[in-house]
Amino acid sequence: MDDYKKISPDMWENLDKSQKDSEKVSRKSLTYWQDAARRLKQNKVAVVSLIVILMVVLMAIFVPLFWPIQYSNQVLDFSNIPPNLEVYEVTDGNYIYITKAYKAIEVSKDGELLQMSEIKKDDQNNRMYIYEFDGKELIVDYSLYLQAKKEYLALEKKAKKDPSINLEEAQFNLDNAKKVEIRFDGKEILPTKTIRNKTYVFGTDYLGRDMFIRVVYGGRISLIVGFVAAFLNFIIGVLYGGISGYFGGRVDNIMMRIVDIIGSIPTLLYVILLMVIMQPGLGTIIVALSITHWLGMARIVRGQVLSLKEQEFVLAAKTLGASTKRIMLKHLIPNIMGPVMVSVTMQVPQAIFTEAFLSFVGLGISAPKASWGALCNDALAGLFTYPYQLFYPALAISITILAFNLFGDGLRDALDPKQRK
């Protein structure tokens, strides 16, 4: 036994530094939300989408406060002016732009709209406008295409009686006829260059209103509808679905049948009925969306609560005498916030799209206020002549909804506990 008690110093050796911290936890333990935020930051698409959403929101809030032109300002002389101007140089440093209505607008060399030129003579018989610059005449002749079309129609009428008449030459002349010919001091002039419209960067609509500020202001309206509707749907859906799932049984059955009845009626019908009772406007749309869009949230919350209420931590809370309200607010709802937050994120673009659709069909806000859907509706009349009026609000809707959907996908992946590493 004495041999076992003899431990000499040469039996020990110092531990190598590389092995000293081999079992040490190198990373601090993260909570569920900290880990979700970390994984969300690693999703570059979701981060870029969040940045785009923030930029759209900030522009909608602050740009109308500082923009020199109000969304309702009208300048009828500058109606239907595109963002890119094909200008003619009439004298040194003096440029004009010819509108689709064949009116002449004076433009600076930088692209700023100065004023509509005063017509010296309106020759309707010969289809031309005559202006004066520096004592010389500027003639806007728009009779060439109309004359070619008139000749073609007359020849086509004769060809119905005489099949030997060939319409190819008349068709060729019509296809190649000039829409307008610009003559200054007796000589034809051609477009000098194409410049950006510095006064109205997105152009103007049919009433001469600035398309840029109307798109930005329309974003404010659409985002207000999206966020407010999503918030109200979150409150109603969480409370309704939580109560239904927690109590279960007959209460759950009755509450879910009510959900089925409400969901069976189209949203458009709710809007029409509310338009009869209330005045058309932003509040009517929000109320209509709040009536129907919380149903999906309620079903999600109900399913989560049904699965969680049988867990041990809920039984422990009941054993300790916790009230139903405390169990719901302190134990169940915080544990279902992952799926709920994803659903809220997805409801914002859904509400924006629904509002755009309602405004597009004429059930949205009243003029002169604008939303993206109302702007698209206003642009339909001149779709082929002024396509930019539809392009910008449609692009804003597409970018915003795409950003919300991509961010929602990234948030869903980040909050999925199965993907925790």
Q: Give CA 199 to chain center in angstroms.
A: 24
Tens-place pLDDT, residues 375-404: 888 888 888 888 999 999 999 999 999 999
pLDDT-based confidence at residue 4 (cuts at 50, 70, 90)? low
* pLDDT tens, position by position, 175-228: 777 788 888 888 888 888 889 999 999 999 988 899 999 999 988 888 888 888
CA distance 157 to 99: 33
Instruction: Tell me the CA end-to-end span of the chain in Å, nearest whole number.
Output: 51
Q: What is the mean pLDDT of residues 74-90?
A: 89
User: Do residues 116 and 105 touch, judged by C-beta distance below 8 A?
Assistant: yes
Q: What's the burial of 107, exposed, middle or buried (CB within 10 Å: 0-12/13-18/19+)? A: buried
Is pTM, for the whole model, over 0.85?
no
Average pLDDT estimate for 141-165: 79
Q: Which pair of structure tokens corresponds to residue 294?
A: 């919380």
Share of the chain above pLDDT 70, in %: 92
The amino acid present at 130, given as its one-letter code, is: I
Amino acid, res. 312 = E
96-105, 357-366, 389-398: least confident range: 357-366
pLDDT of 421 strictly over 60: no
Say what the pLDDT of residue 272 is.
78
